[in-house]
A = this chain, B = another copy of it.
């Protein structure tokens, strides 16, 4: 297999794109494609300040690397969740995020849940009714709250996450099984900011997970191989497996499922549009973050409940 660009030995063969590339040209292709997606979906301009949510995994570290390479001003945010899983998951992912920042001379902001709020995610999820024994829902809420808080407090224009195509296709598959209008309208590569909610973007949303793995490995990025120990057996991992089967049978099926969706929605498949129906948000009196309902936001209510139980 030869590199399509230079004819040298290819190291990556992407059946879904009918494209093989050598290391050098693959490491050029990924950032060039990312730049294309950033423009195509109007994610951000060259002078905007970007905050990258960094987990220590391959996607978020690669995203940070790519944005840096493309010349953007992008700082990192690592949120210490306090998840151990028997192998120090959070500690190791923090170490790798910090190492990447140090090696590349980049700025990493760190919020440790336990230091800041007295409780880590596993403890909070035990206290909260949201948890149901699994901390994923509590964890998602806490991360959204903290990412938005830091983006606002430190004056970033946009919040970037490392969601890849496999993530997006799995979420879309789940939303299609339930045909939830709200979720189908809201699943976008860019969610515009309003009322104190930071703009959120997913520059990697069109890359296969395996493409990001190849990028991180070829770039020599050290990342945490393990998934979060709580994600084992999750619905989204199950949907990813089903979609991988489909992809194996028909290369490109996953990408076209997602792109056909974006395209059909742009062309008016669905009635109404979330952007035209934005619900005005309220301000939480405790943290000053935007919230759906009047009164304290659900994150602050959860923290208060945890503190009350602990006294």
Tell me if A245 counts as interface (CB < 8 A to partner B): yes
Query: Which residue of chain B lies nearest to A262 when distances are taken between CB atoms in the complex?
Result: B179
Write out the residue numbers on chain B whose beta carbons fall within 8 Å of the beta carbon of A268. 271
Write out the residue numbers on chain B whose beta carbons fall within 8 Å of the beta carbon of A269. 179, 181, 184, 270-271
Segment of A14-22, A57-65, A249-257, A285-293 engaged in the interface with chain B: A249-257
A181 to chain B, nearest CB (A): 5
A263/B177 contact (C-beta < 8 A), A245-B242, A249-B238, A270-B271 known: no
C-alpha gap A19/B271 in the complex (Å): 37
Tell me if A6 counts as interface (CB < 8 A to partner B): no
Binding site for B on A (CB under 8 A): 176-181, 184, 238, 242, 245-246, 249, 253, 256-257, 260-261, 263-265, 267-272
Check A181 against B264 for contact (C-beta < 8 Å): yes
C-alpha gap A158/B245 in the complex (Å): 40
Write out the residue numbers on chain B whose beta carbons fall within 8 Å of the beta carbon of A177. 253, 256-257, 260
Query: Given A176-B176, A178-B256, A271-B271, 7 other A-B contacts at CB below 8 A?
Result: A176-B257, A177-B253, A181-B267, A184-B269, A238-B249, A242-B245, A269-B270
A179/B271 contact (C-beta < 8 A), A238-B249, A242-B242, A242-B246 known: no
A308 to chain B, nearest CB (A): 37
Query: Which residue of chain B lies nearest to A238 when distances are taken between CB atoms in the complex?
Result: B249
Write out the residue numbers on chain B whose beta carbons fall within 8 Å of the beta carbon of A249. 238
Write out the residue numbers on chain B whose beta carbons fall within 8 Å of the beta carbon of A267. 181
Write out the residue numbers on chain B whose beta carbons fall within 8 Å of the beta carbon of A246. 242
C-alpha gap A143/B249 in the complex (Å): 30
A157 to chain B, nearest CB (A): 32
A180 to chain B, nearest CB (A): 8
Write out the residue numbers on chain B whose beta carbons fall within 8 Å of the beta carbon of A178. 256, 260
A179 to chain B, nearest CB (A): 4
